[in-house]
Amino acid sequence: MKFIGIDLGWRSGESGLCRLQLQSTPTGDRLGIEDLTCRLSLEEIFAWLDKGLGEAEGAMVAVDAPTIIPNQTGTRLPDRLTHKYFGKYHAGCYPANLG
């Protein structure tokens, strides 16, 4: 089983990519880093995914990016709530809008 993390960059920035592999060891299971890299374009991201995953291989994928952006300007409710509950841990997010 593989675990994929994708942190999509802003329009002009690179996207961070991480691929972990679940490994069985004599002392128990652990996650090992298979690849940690950055890519600029969606085509490069898809090529990285294709290269690192077999066709019949299972994977869990987590994407850090706003997927639903209904507002033209301002801050979405999820962004405000993230700041409210996680801002004190310096774990806020950038506001997303269509403007």
pLDDT in tens, 76-92: 988 899 889 998 998 87
Q: Residue 5 — φ and ψ, nearest 5°?
A: -115, 130
What pLDDT, on the 0 to 100 scale, is given for residue 25? Answer: 87
Q: Report helix, strand or coil for 44.
A: helix
Q: What local confidence, expressed as pLDDT, does residue 66 receive?
A: 80
Amino acid making up residue 46: F
* Share in percent of the chain as helix, strand, coil (round to 5): 25, 35, 40
pLDDT in tens, 30-52: 999 999 999 999 899 999 999 99
Distance of CA 10 to the CA centre of its chain: 13
